[in-house]
Amino acid sequence: MSAVSALSGASEENPAQDSLASSAGNPPENAAPDSTAASSPKAQVSSSSDAPIPALAQTTTGTLETTLKEGALQRGSKKTFDVWAKDQKGEKIPPAELTVTLNGQPVSVAWDDTEKTSYTLVFSQGKSGANVVEIKTGALKKDYTLNYQPAQKGEKIGQMVLSIEAFSIGGGYLLNPAYVDIEEGENGAQLLDSVLKEHGYTYEKEGSLTAGFYLAVLRGGVLPLKAQVPDFLKEKLLSNGFNDLNEKDKVNDGGLGEFDYTHGSGWMYCVNTKFPNVGLADYYPSDGDVLRLQFTLAYGADIGGGAAIGSSGAAGNYYSVADKDRLTTLIAQKGYAKVPDKIRATVVKLNASQDEVDQAVKFLMEEAA
């Protein structure tokens, strides 16, 4: 799996810093998962031809959804995105039946799972301005125009919000939501490495910062944590085959990582509410992204990322997981130390309803007005 962790922001006495400097695919079969994600805007479906099509296709042509956003400004030379393509029966369309091009040139598949297919766009330094991405399968087609403005290697190309969370074991934030600078040429693993070093953390990994990066164990900082798994999650774990749950497991070894507390534990991450199927080394941050690195006890089913692991772990999610991106961003803007206790209680609540989260967002926005 992949992940991060840093300063514990669970209390006023030891708040994490409110801002930071610029700071894989599927894991091994016996390892905890490593997921990523990209942006969340959804594409609409359009027909690729005006010619008559069969009656069935006229009524149910399937769906095409991506994480690209029409007209978006693109500063980085690389961008990872996901495609959800389904036929009229709601079944996933395989990548062999998908055509993706950038300015007419084919884009190869970066990764594929049972739900989505991921691609990485590589922009040419000589092709600034409008760049057209076309995604097509059968009668479904979607075009996006991305406005690329090249940057020099190491140049700041935007900011993202980053948080590191141990909500599943009652540990609150390990890194409070904070803005992090994004540099041209830097992937997610390299950004994470910078953040961890800046805050005195070490870690065990597989792969490298440029290929196959897999964060196995995080050490240092405020770790170790004593697990206090919420009762409702304990019930879910035990009823879904995690009979090895042990809240005292490895509490004194100084780290937090794969196989701690259950056989399905480890670090995962989502970006803009999505859990992608590529690792941090293959994720390229974009301005405005919200990256939440989270510790899971159940292959992601306890944090909303169960589908990202597919048959490798628990299928689906244990409960509906609210979209906390806006709330996370507002906390980064305000500073965790200045957020009222009732807002903190909502954001760290694993099974908080969307209404609870929306009310917390409304409170912070009215307070800032």
Residue 69 belongs to a domain with what CATH number? 2.60.40.10
pLDDT, the chain, mean: 82
Strand 201-206 with 266-271, pairing:
unpaired
Tell whether 17 is covered by a domain. no
251/355 same-domain check = yes
Condensed to tens digits (0 to 9), the pLDDT of residues 316-351 reads 799 999 999 999 999 999 999 999 999 999 999 999
Tell whether 56 is covered by a domain. yes
- Region 33-61 average pLDDT: 34
Q: Are 146 and 38 in contact (CB under 8 A)?
A: no
Cα gap 75→23, rounded to integer Å: 17
Condensed to tens digits (0 to 9), the pLDDT of residues 6-43 reads 323 333 333 333 333 333 333 333 343 444 332 222 22
Which is more confidently placed, 200 or 350? Answer: 350
120/194 same-domain check = no
- Region 173-190 average pLDDT: 94
Tell whether 3 is covered by a domain. no
Domain that holds residue 95: 46-148
Residue carrying structure tokens 């809240």: 247
Q: Are 213 and 280 in contact (CB under 8 A)?
A: yes
314/207 same-domain check = yes
pLDDT attached to residue 326: 98
Considering its fold, how many domains does the chain have in total? 2
- Closest by Cα among 333, 267, 327, 282 to 31: 267
115 confidence band (pLDDT: 50, 70, 90): confident
Condensed to tens digits (0 to 9), the pLDDT of residues 229-263 reads 999 999 999 999 999 999 887 666 789 999 999 99
209/330 same-domain check = yes
pTM above 0.85, yes or no: no
280/189 same-domain check = yes
Strand 290-296 with 156-165, pairing:
parallel
214/327 same-domain check = yes
- 63-66 CB contacts, 8 Å cutoff, 24+ apart: 63/140, 64/135, 64/137, 64/140, 64/141, 64/142, 66/42, 66/135, 66/142, 66/144
pLDDT attached to residue 276: 78
108/170 same-domain check = no
Residue carrying structure tokens 């900011």: 159
Residue 231 belongs to a domain with what CATH number? 2.170.130.30
100/64 same-domain check = yes
Tell whether 7 is covered by a domain. no
Domain termination residue (choose one: 148, 171, 198): 148
125 confidence band (pLDDT: 50, 70, 90): low
Segment holding 239, helix H or strand E: helix 231-239
223/242 same-domain check = yes
- Cα Rg of the chain (Å, integer): 21
Report phi then psi at 367, rounded to 5: -65, -35
90/183 same-domain check = no
127/263 same-domain check = no
Burial (CB < 10 A; 0-12, 13-18, 19+), residue 105, is exposed
165/139 same-domain check = no
Range with the lowest mean pLDDT among 46-60, 142-156, 303-317? 46-60
Hey, what's the torsion of the CAs at 12, 15, 19, 22, to 10 degrees?
Answer: 180
Q: Are 168 and 225 in contact (CB under 8 A)?
A: no
Domain termination residue (choose one: 100, 123, 148): 148
The first and second tokens of residue 255, run together, are 């780290």
